[in-house]
Structure 1
Amino acid sequence: MTVCSPYRSLRGIPVVVALLAIGAVGCSDVSDAVDSAKDGAKTVARQRSVFSLDTGDCYNPTGKAEGTAYTVEIVPCDEAHEGQVVGEFAIDKGKEYPGDDGVSKVADDRCPVEAQKYAPDTWALPKGVALFYYTPTAESWATGDRSVSCTYTAEKGTFSGSLDTAKSLKPEQNTYLTGSNAVYEALWANQSETEAVEDDLDGYKAQAKAVAAALDTHVTGLDGIEGAEVGKLRGTLTKAAGNWKKAANAADADTFYIAYDSAFTGIDPNKSVAARKELGLATTVPADEAEVWAG
C-alpha cells in the first residue's frame, strides 16, 4: 500500500554537496561534478508534495515506491518514469479514520474504476505496470486529508509516454471497451471468498447474475458495431450470457458447476483477440488474465 504524509522540502541539498566537492578534484572530475550537480538540481526542482499530485502527472517516487511518502519527482511523460496518476477521488468525510484496511478497501474498489476512465484499454498498458494508490494516513486524515491518487506504477524499471488513451478512442472502440471492462469487473468484484460453490451457492449465483447482466449490456453495445469478427464475438458472448443465466438460476451446486464451466470458458479473453484487432485495439492478452484462463 502506498500512503501519504506531510511534505518535507529537499530543495538544494544535492547541489550543495556537489559544489563542495569541486575544489578538490581535477578538470574532468569538475566537469562530471558539475553535470551531476545539474542533474541533482533538476531532480530537486521537480520535487512536489504528494498532496499536489493531479491526474495525468508522470512521476518517480522519492525513496521506495511503497510505504509512507512525502514527495515525488514530477517529470515530463515523454521521459522515462516509474508511475503516472490515472485517477483521483476523495473519501467521504467521517469523524474517525477508517484504519489502513478501511482506506485500502475504498481504494481497491474505486481505483480500477477511475483508472479505466483514463486508460480504458488495460491490454495496452506497458508490461509490468500495476495499479497502486496514494491514500491518507491517520496523521494526514486528522488534518483533513481525504484524497486518494490512483496510479499505474512499474513494478520494475520504468516506462515512457502517457497512458491517457481515453481521448483518442473512436466511438466504437470506446463502446467495446466499456462493455468488456464491465463484464470482467462484474466477475471479479462479485467473486465469492469461498473456494467451493457448495459453501456459498447464493454468492456464486449472485456473481453469475451480475456477469450475465453485464454481458447483455455488452452484447447490446456490440449490435451497433460493424465487422465480421465483432459479429462472431457477439454470437460467442450471447451464448456465454445464456450459460451465466443458467448458473444464476441453478437449483444446486452440481447444476451450477455444469453451467459455470461453459460460462467461464465463454468469456475467455482469447476469444476477443480477433475482434479487438478488427477494432484497432491492443491484441496481447495480459499475462495475469492469460494465466487465469490457461488453468
Structure 2
Amino acid sequence: MTIRAPYRSLRGISAVVALLAIGAVGCSEVSDAVDSAKDGAKKVARQRSVFSLDIGDCYNPNSKDEGTAYSIEIVPCDEAHEGQVVGEFTIDEGNEYPGDDGVSTIADDRCPVEAQKYSPDTWALPEGAALFYYTPTKESWATGDRAVSCTYTSEKSKLSGSLETAKSLKPEQAAYLEGSNAVYEALWANQPEKDAVEDDLAGYKAQAKAVAAALDTHVEGLAGIEGTEVGKLRATLTKAAGNWKKAADAADVDAFYLAYDPAFTDIDPNKSVAARKELGLATTVPADEAEVWAV
C-alpha cells in the first residue's frame, strides 16, 4: 500500500547487535544497551502489515517519508503515537487500477466522510492533526487489494488517547454535528474550480443550491434541540439559507454577489461558538477554518 516503507528487518538486526555488544561496555552503558534492545524488540513485536489495519488502531509509521509501506508499529492508544485509523472503505470503481491520482482523488472524497463517523467533532481534534490515508498501489491492486485506511496523523506533537468520540455523544450533540458537518461538506465538496464567480457563475450557483439544501436540513434538526443559543443560531442559519437560495437563483453575477456575501458571512463558524458551548461541544475554531473566514 502507498505511504511509507517498512524497516522491520533493520530493527531486528539492531536489537541483536545491541545484545551482542553488551560485554564490551560499562555498567551504565550496559543498562542503556539493554533498554535499547528491549525497545527494539518491542517495536519488532508490534509490527503489523498495513493490509490488516483496523478502525481504532493507533500506530507509529516506520518512516517519515511518503512512499510504499508494508508494515507499521501498532501501539496502545494510551501511549504517545503519531496516528490513528479512523475510517476505512473499499474502492469499487471497476476492476482497472484508477491510477495514483485517481486513487488519491477517491480517498480525498471518501476519507473525510468516513473519519466523521468516528470523530464527528473536528473542532475537538488535537491541534496539528491532519487526515491522511493508506491506499492500494498498482502492484497490490493486481493482487486484489482495494482497501483504503483513513487516519489522523499528528503534524506537530504526538497524539495521546483515542480520537473516537461518536459513541460518547448525546443525541442533541450528534444531531447538531451531523447537520453542521453536512453544511460544510456541501460548501467545500461543491467548490468550483474557478476562483472568480464571473468565470463560472453556473458552478457557484450549483454550490449555493447544495449549501441551501444542507442548511434547510440542519435548521430542521436544530428545531428539536432546546437552548437559547441554539435558538439564536437556528435563526441565523435560517436567514443564511434564504440568502444561499437567492444566490442559487441569481440571474447574473451582481445578483449573486448581493446574496452570496451575507450568505457566506452567516455560516462563519464563529457564529456557532455560543451554541456549541451550550451543547457541551468544543468551542475553539480550527485554525484552517478561521483562516478561510478571515480572508
User: What secondary structure is seen at the aligned counterpart in 2 of 1:152?
Assistant: strand
Partner of 2:2: 3
Partner of 1:115: 115
Deviations 1:29-81 (A, max 9, x none): 11111111111111111111111110000000001252221211000101110
AA matched with 1:113: V
Residues 4 and 61, structure 2, Cα contact 8 Å, conserved in 1: no
Alignment partners' CA distance in 2, 1:232 and 1:112 = 28
Partner of 2:85: 85
Distance 1:159 1:6, change over 3 A: closer
Percent sequence identity is 82
Partner of 1:214: 214
Residues 5 and 63, structure 2, Cα contact 8 Å, conserved in 1: no
User: What secondary structure is seen at the aligned counterpart in 2 of 1:84?
Assistant: strand
What is the deviation of 1:97?
Answer: 1.0
2:238 aligned with 1:264: no
AA matched with 1:3: T
User: What secondary structure is seen at the aligned counterpart in 2 of 1:224?
Assistant: coil
| Equivalent residue runs for 1:7-46 within 5 Å | 9-10=8-9, 12-46=12-46
Partner of 2:249: 249
Residues 4 and 50, structure 1, Cα contact 8 Å, conserved in 2: no
Residues 61 and 82, structure 1, Cα contact 8 Å, conserved in 2: yes
Alignment partners' CA distance in 1, 2:267 and 2:5 = 45
Residues 5 and 62, structure 2, Cα contact 8 Å, conserved in 1: no
Deviating above 6 A after TM superposition, structure 1's stretches of 4 or more consecutive aligned residues are: 5-8
What is the deviation of 1:14?
Answer: 2.7
Residues 243 and 259, structure 1, Cα contact 8 Å, conserved in 2: yes
What is the deviation of 1:15?
Answer: 1.9
AA matched with 2:55: T
Residues 8 and 70, structure 1, Cα contact 8 Å, conserved in 2: no
User: What secondary structure is seen at the aligned counterpart in 1 of 2:24?
Assistant: coil
2:56 aligned with 1:56: yes
Alignment partners' CA distance in 2, 1:279 and 1:65 = 40
Residues 2 and 134, structure 2, Cα contact 8 Å, conserved in 1: yes
What is the deviation of 1:156?
Answer: 2.4
2:227 aligned with 1:227: yes
What is the deviation of 1:6?
Answer: 9.3
Residues 59 and 82, structure 1, Cα contact 8 Å, conserved in 2: yes
Partner of 2:95: 95
Partner of 1:164: 164
Alignment partners' CA distance in 1, 2:47 and 2:77 = 15
Alignment partners' CA distance in 1, 2:157 and 2:16 = 29
Structure 1: runs of 5+ lacking an equivalent: none
User: What secondary structure is seen at the aligned counterpart in 2 of 1:85?
Assistant: strand
Alignment partners' CA distance in 2, 1:182 and 1:70 = 35
Deviations 1:148-185 (A, max 9, x none): 00000011231101000000000000000000000000
Alignment partners' CA distance in 2, 1:128 and 1:43 = 25
What is the deviation of 1:198?
Answer: 1.4
AA matched with 1:99: G
TM norm structure 1: 0.97
Residues 192 and 203, structure 1, Cα contact 8 Å, conserved in 2: yes
Residues 173 and 279, structure 1, Cα contact 8 Å, conserved in 2: yes
What is the deviation of 1:93?
Answer: 5.6
2:134 aligned with 1:134: yes
Alignment partners' CA distance in 1, 2:239 and 2:227 = 19
Distance 1:69 1:18, change over 3 A: same
Partner of 2:187: 187
What is the deviation of 1:222?
Answer: 0.2
Partner of 2:286: 286
Alignment partners' CA distance in 1, 2:6 and 2:20 = 27
Count of paired positions: 294
Residues 85 and 152, structure 2, Cα contact 8 Å, conserved in 1: yes
Deviations 1:215-247 (A, max 9, x none): 000000000000000000000000000000000
Distance 1:237 1:252, change over 3 A: same
User: What secondary structure is seen at the aligned counterpart in 2 of 1:267?
Assistant: coil
